[in-house]
Structure formats: structure tokens, C-alpha cells
């Protein structure tokens, strides 16, 4: 049987560049990782595919999965919007010797780290500061001002969880931050 793969948890406030860093881990730095596909009851966005970006479930199917104990963890990340890590995703991939990356929110991240302890590495991507985060979110021009304010106050709350992570990487320069995250994961996998 293959040696079980490692679990890598990455959390970050929105606007911190997390998605780009995660993409660079495999595309630029060739870190051997597989991605756990979470389940959610939010509807797919344009360009998202069921089973690839998320397992998109109805409210009822999500509730049934909770009742059937199918989740490692799940959280109501936004009001009425649930996201959960499926046991089937993590256990199957890890048992096959794959290193599994979980891109999950701060509460889920801390919970999974507690469960897997030394078998998991948790990394928090820190935006360079609230002012810079505001500039990035406003620069995206996708959200109305009240949504930006809500994201900023959520970001401030999420940043309080950073000390509970194994490592905190500040993203003030994307290339430097992604190289640092790649190094942390590569060292952890090699242990």
C-alpha cells in the first residue's frame, strides 16, 4: 500500500491572492498536489463545473450529506451558504499517496489541523494590510461598496485566526509569496 499522502490546508481572506498562489503551486513550482473538491450549496458561477470546482449540492442534498456523516468538516461560510470537505475526497486521495490541498475557510482550517495534527500543514495567506486589501477589492470592481465593506470586516475577523496556523505568508509580492508557500509545502512533504 502507498504511504499516506500529506494534508495541506490553505486559508486566507478574500482578496489576498490565495487562488493565484494555489494555481502557481502546481503550474509554476510543480509541487505534487491534488485538490480536494469541496461540496457547497451555493449555485455554480459562470465557468464553474460540477465535480471540478465544487460538488454543487442542493440544500437538501447538503443536509443529507451532513446526516450521513460524509464530511470531515463543514461551515456556513456566508449566511445560508455551506461548504464542506468530504471524507471521500480526502481519504481516497491520501490513501493513494497523494498530497491533498484543502482550500478552506479559517474555522474549517483550524478544525482540520486539530484532527490531523502533525499529518497536516496549515498555511495562512495574509494580505499586506487592510488598506491594501481595500485597494485590491475596489480594484476588482466586481462588488458594490457595501459588499466590499462586508468583505473587509470579515477579513479583519479572519486575520485573527492567523496565529493558529503553522505558517503565515504575507502576500505583498505574488511571486515571492507563492515561492515561499511552495517551499513550505515541499519541505513538509519531504519530512
Residues that bind ligand 5GP (CB under 6 A): 38, 42, 73, 75, 77, 83-85, 103-105, 108
- Please say which residue, 52 or 187, places its beta carbon nearer to ligand 5GP: 52
Q: How far is the CB of 155 from ligand 5GP (least distance, A)?
A: 11
- Please say which residue, 29 or 42, places its beta carbon nearer to ligand 5GP: 42
Q: How far is the CB of 125 from ligand 5GP (least distance, A)?
A: 11
- Please say which residue, 77 or 130, places its beta carbon nearer to ligand 5GP: 77
How crowded is residue 111: how many other Cβ atoms within 10 Å of its Cβ?
A: 18
Q: How far is the CB of 95 from ligand 5GP (least distance, A)?
A: 19
**Residues 85, 98: Cα–Cα separation, whole Å:** 16
- Please say which residue, 6 or 18, places its beta carbon nearer to ligand 5GP: 18
Q: How far is the CB of 75 from ligand 5GP (least distance, A)?
A: 4
Q: Shortest Cβ contact with ligand 5GP: which residue?
A: 108
Question: Is 126:169 a contact under the CB 8 Å cutoff?
Answer: yes
Q: How far is the CB of 171 from ligand 5GP (least distance, A)?
A: 15
- Please say which residue, 3 or 160, places its beta carbon nearer to ligand 5GP: 160
Amino acid at each position: 500500500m502507498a504511504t499516506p499522502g500529506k494534508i495541506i490546508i490553505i486559508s486566507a481572506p478574500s482578496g489576498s491572492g490565495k487562488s493565484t498562489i494555489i494555481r502557481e503551486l502546481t503550474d509554476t513550482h510543480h509541487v505534487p498536489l491534488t485538490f480536494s473538491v469541496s461540496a457547497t450549496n451555493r449555485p455554480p458561477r459562470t465557468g464553474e463545473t460540477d465535480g471540478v470546482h465544487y460538488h454543487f449540492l442542493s440544500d437538501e442534498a447538503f443536509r443529507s450529506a451532513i446526516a450521513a456523516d460524509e464530511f470531515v468538516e463543514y461551515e456556513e461560510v456566508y449566511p445560508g451558504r455551506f461548504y464542506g470537505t468530504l471524507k471521500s475526497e480526502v481519504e481516497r486521495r491520501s490513501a493513494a499517496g497523494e498530497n491533498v490541498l484543502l482550500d478552506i475557510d479559517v474555522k474549517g482550517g483550524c478544525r482540520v489541523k486539530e484532527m490531523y495534527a502533525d499529518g497536516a500543514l496549515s498555511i495562512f495567506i495574509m494580505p499586506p494590510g487592510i488598506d491594501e486589501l481595500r485597494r485590491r477589492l475596489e480594484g476588482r470592481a466586481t462588488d458594490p461598496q457595501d459588499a466590499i465593506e462586508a468583505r473587509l470586516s470579515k477579513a479583519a475577523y479572519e486575520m485573527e485566526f492567523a496565529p493558529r496556523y503553522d505558517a503565515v505568508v504575507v502576500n505583498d509580492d505574488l511571486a515571492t509569496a507563492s515561492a515561499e508557500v511552495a517551499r513550505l509545502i515541499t519541505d513538509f512533504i519531504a519530512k
